Amino acid sequence: MGFSFLPVMEYISRRAFVAAGLCPHMVTLSCNPGEGGRGAGTTIHYWAPPGEPLLLIHGFGPMATWQWRRQAGPFSRHFHFHVIVPDLLCFGGSSPCPSCPPPSESAQAAALAALLDALSGLDKTARVAVAGTSYGGFVAYALARAAGARRVGPVVISNSDLVKTADDDRTLLQRAGGSWRSRSTGGRSPGLRDRPDRPGDRSIAPTILVDR
């Protein structure tokens, strides 16, 4: 059998979370009928300690422990946040309803909203700060839209291309020596529907900071 570095990396990351005062938890939620799920419920694995709520949403590649291992300690110990670090559905220890289709960004956001409501010791009316990176930034934005400013904010989105425009794509293609054709997109990149036209779109949430 060959040696794998993955268990070592996970061990180091988990130790960083434990040292930060976080503990692993598991919550089982009912399936969302809107997603067509039936039968067994959705399971979300997350890490959290006591304190003011701060939800950290990881990106598409790494697990939550890998993504946030360097930030969990300072946020928890020094800034005294109740750091909530979930694995998104289909990542790490979290799993969607078996009969549900692959989760969309909106479905991921709905699962996180349900997780916040299910957390013991966390007021269901408490406002939760959110930080999302890469794919997690899209989920954070979807969560802010769905939950509203009274429940979610401020929101920090990093490296997510959330406000990427057709001009950005055109410049990238030109650098690569390609050509650009845009049809029926109104000058915007395909797939940008329901995303902000600019950082900090206040029609969605009072405080959204986007780091491109």
- The pLDDT, as a whole number, for residue 183 is 44
Percent of the chain predicted with pLDDT > 70: 77
* Residue among 189, 196, 27 nearest 117 (CA): 27
Neighbours of 127 (CB within 10 A): 14
Q: Which pLDDT value is given to residue 197?
A: 44
Q: Report yes or no on 64 lying in a domain.
A: yes
Q: What digits encode the pLDDT tens for the residues 111-129? A: 999 999 888 767 778 899 9
Phi, psi at 203, each rounded to 5°: -75, -15
Residue 71: domain span = 6-164+194-211
Kindly state whether residue 57 falls inside one of the protein's structural domains. yes
- Which domain CATH number covers 128? 3.40.50.1820
The total number of structural domains that make up the chain: 1
Q: What is the pTM of this model?
A: 0.65
Examine residue 186 and state whether it is found in any structural domain, yes or no: no
List the alpha helices (DSSP H) in the chain.
6-19, 64-73, 105-118, 135-147, 166-175
pLDDT, position 195: 47
Establish if 112 belongs to a structural domain. yes
150-170 per-position pLDDT tens digit: 999 999 998 887 777 778 777
Residue with tokens 């109104």: 186
CA dihedral 35, 199, 75, 66 (to 10 degrees): 60
Decide if 175 is inside a domain: no
Report the pLDDT averaged over residues 53-59.
93
User: Across-strand partners of 86?
Assistant: 46
End-to-end CA separation in angstroms for the chain: 42
Comparing 91 with 178, the larger pLDDT belongs to 91
Instruction: Let me know if residue 169 belongs to a domain.
Output: no
In a domain, 49, yes or no: yes
Name the more confident of 37 and 87.
87
3-state secondary structure 73-102: HHHHHHCCEEEEEECCCCCCCCECCCCCCC
Confidence (pLDDT) at 110 = 93
Cα separation, 62 vs 84, whole angstroms: 16
Q: Is residue 160 part of a domain?
A: yes
63-111 tens-digit pLDDT:
888 889 898 888 888 787 888 999 999 888 888 888 778 889 999 999 9
Q: CB within 8 A of 203, min separation 6: which ones?
A: none
